[in-house]
Homo-oligomer: A and B are copies of this chain.
């Protein structure tokens, strides 16, 4: 989908793009999700683990969510559920409230006329007028969708008294009996009286 200049010009959008490495619709969906969730929860970016997020996919959108919410892979407040859904649950450790955002399927529904024109362009059979018409439809659809704000992108489910995941644990390390490398104690398995890491067990 066309991403309007009014979105791309935002400094925090550009911070997401810098982190992700390139502009794409995926990262823009994450941007909209993070903006909406923080507004609904009345929260700022997490310095530590004040906010949590549960992402149900590992697509581009997750990068904007990391940048904007401060729920990052390395901080222990970013949880991945491998469900293959464009859904994101945000929770506040301050209020105990949460919100689950599910991307509306309409966001990727392309109007018939736009499809026909895109196919013609792809097959190098479009006239100049048809190319212009395509561009006009494509841009207008994007402008219209984005004009609804982040709210236009998601179905929202509010969660009262959210069952928040525990904070990131701090665990001392011991040497694996086989490879000698240091390993978090919780990831070692006892084999015939010796502690062995997952790499050596495999």
Contact = CB atoms under 8 A, between A and B. Distances in A.
Nearest to A57: B184
A173 B85 CA distance: 8
Q: At the interface, is chain A mostly helix, strand, loop or mixed?
A: mixed
Contact of A183 (B45, B46, B84): B84
A85 B21 contact: no
Copies in the complex: 2
B184 A70 contact: no
A168 B57 CA distance: 12
Contacts of A183: 83-85
Contact of A62 (B56, B74, B81, B171): B74
Contacts of A102: 181
A182 interface: yes
A103 B182 contact: yes
A34 interface: no
